[in-house]
Amino acid sequence: MKYLCLAYEAESVLDALSQSEWDVLRRETLDYVEELRQSGYLIATHALQSIRTAATVRQRNGKLSVTDGPFAETKEHLGGFFLVEAQDLNEAIRIASRWPSARLGSIEVRPIEEELRVESRYGGT
């Protein structure tokens, strides 16, 4: 089953890292990406640019609204994602727990819906 792992981080925390701390975190991340790729777990991964480059789009009553930045006012923002193939949620959580920036932020793990449900979007779950 496929799981999307959403990496949330506080930009201020990452910006406060020294160059050597950043270099270590970056190297650990690249090494873990390679480990996941070689083990067959990793499907895709991408970092996102700063929230300062984001736009939030809404369409309400035929009117378009675009605002700068993310909609949610939180300390942590979506910084990137990785898509993995795992046997179950527990294995996906184990994979996500080893992502280096999980030490500084959080990783949300969600199963992928292979197709949009007929009965309702979330099926009452």
Domains of the chain: 2-111 (3.30.70.1060)
Residue 34's pLDDT band, with cuts at 50, 70 and 90, is: very high
**Average pLDDT in the chain:** 92
The Cα 20–Cα 94 span in angstroms is 27
pLDDT score for 69: 76
φ and ψ at 6, to 5 degrees? Answer: -100, 120
pLDDT tens digits, one per residue of 43-83? 999 999 998 899 889 999 999 999 887 666 677 889 999 99
Buried residues in 86-124 as b, exposed as e (16+ CB within 10 A): beeeeebeebbeebbbeebbebebeeeeeeeeeeeeeee
pLDDT score for 107: 97
Mean pLDDT of 5-13: 94
